[in-house]
Amino acid sequence: MEYRAYTGMNGLGNSKLVTDLQCLKEFTELSVNSKKAAVQRNQETSRKESEDESRLPVLEAAYATILRGIGEDTDRQGLLRTPARAAKAMQFLTKGYHESVYDILNDAIFDEDHDEMVIVKDIDMFSLCEHHLVPFFGKVHIGYLPNKKVVGLSKLARIVEIYSRRLQVQERLTKQIATAISEALQPTGVVVIIEAVHMCMIMRGVQKINSQTVTSTMLGIFREDHKTREEFLALVKSK
Ligand SMILES: [Zn+2]
């Protein structure tokens, strides 16, 4: 922003200086971004893929303990390989800890003069509730209003995958997806809506079979401007 104001005031005579300033600014942005990405990556990933193999025995032993804890006989034929299978399944269901948005989006962000709303709706989502370790699942609807930057559409589904394959609560999942898109694309606005059913509500406790939980996060123009928000909601509802 600063160097642009400078151009306006001094005309073309200072174009070399302007270019230098621009380079400097871009370089600074680049290094700030890569530092930010590294910090983010450390915060985001709490498990390395390479470590999964070595952690399997602990997880297997834990599942064997659970089986005994519920009064099962771990030696009966049907359960012989269950701790091993369950351990692998649990690692798969939480593999999002390995992945960071910055790795996924690295080369997938494009400069584009598109300023119409981008919507991807009905993205399948499967996650595990961190309070009961049972599944919750449903659909994610994402919209954003680009500000010179767009991302490949399939990457939005990948972002959902990264955050949902972890232990979660639906509210945080919704916010993390929105924040990730906001930070990566710096759009004019982002909205994320998740409609989900929680097995911990359906199978235990209140047993409300048809109850759905809806959460939303709105950033930027979607928060400020109700017309933009309503346009998104109308487009999501239309089948
Ligand atoms: Zn739960």
CATH number at residue 62: 1.10.286.10
Say how many Å lie between the CA of residue 132 and the centre of ligand 1.
5
pLDDT at 32: 53
| Burial class for 128, CB neighbours closer than 10 Å (0-12, 13-18, 19+) | buried
> Do residue 186 and residue 205 come from a single domain?
yes
User: Among 217, 215, 216, 197, which residue's Cα sits nearest to residue 207?
Assistant: 197
Domain count, the chain: 3
User: Among 95, 94, 157, which residue's Cα sits nearest to residue 130?
Assistant: 94
> Do residue 32 and residue 73 come from a single domain?
no
> Do residue 125 and residue 231 come from a single domain?
yes
User: Does residue 99 have an active-site annotation?
Assistant: no
User: Among 54, 55, 63, which residue's Cα sits nearest to residue 81?
Assistant: 63
User: Does residue 226 have an active-site annotation?
Assistant: no
CATH of the domain at 211: 3.30.1130.10
DSSP run (H or E) holding 198: strand 189-198
Strand partners, 191: 143, 218
Identity at 199, one-letter amino acid code: M
Say how many Å lie between the CA of residue 130 and the centre of ligand 1.
6
C-alpha 148/C-alpha 71 separation (Å) is 59
In a domain, 103, yes or no: no
> Do residue 165 and residue 199 come from a single domain?
yes
Domain that holds residue 183: 110-237
Largest CA distance in the chain: 85
> Do residue 38 and residue 54 come from a single domain?
no
> Do residue 65 and residue 125 come from a single domain?
no
Query: Do 3 and 21 form a contact (C-beta atoms < 8 A)?
Result: yes
Say how many Å lie between the CA of residue 202 and the centre of ligand 1.
10
> Do residue 14 and residue 62 come from a single domain?
no
> Do residue 133 and residue 156 come from a single domain?
yes
In a domain, 104, yes or no: no
User: Among 170, 90, 93, which residue's Cα sits nearest to residue 138?
Assistant: 170
Q: Which of 44, 60, 99, 129 is catalytic?
A: 129
Residue 236: DSSP 8-state? H
Query: Do 126 and 170 form a contact (C-beta atoms < 8 A)?
Result: no
Tokens, residue 126:
């499967």
> Do residue 37 and residue 55 come from a single domain?
no
Print pLDDT tens along the chain (239 aa): 333 333 333 333 333 333 344 444 444 444 455 555 555 555 567 788 888 899 999 999 999 999 999 999 999 999 999 999 999 999 999 999 999 998 888 888 889 888 899 999 999 999 999 999 999 999 999 999 999 999 998 999 999 999 999 999 999 999 999 999 999 999 999 999 999 999 998 888 666 777 899 999 999 999 999 999 999 999 998 87
> Do residue 38 and residue 56 come from a single domain?
no
Query: Do 149 and 187 form a contact (C-beta atoms < 8 A)?
Result: yes
Say how many Å lie between the CA of residue 138 and the centre of ligand 1.
14
User: Does residue 212 have an active-site annotation?
Assistant: no
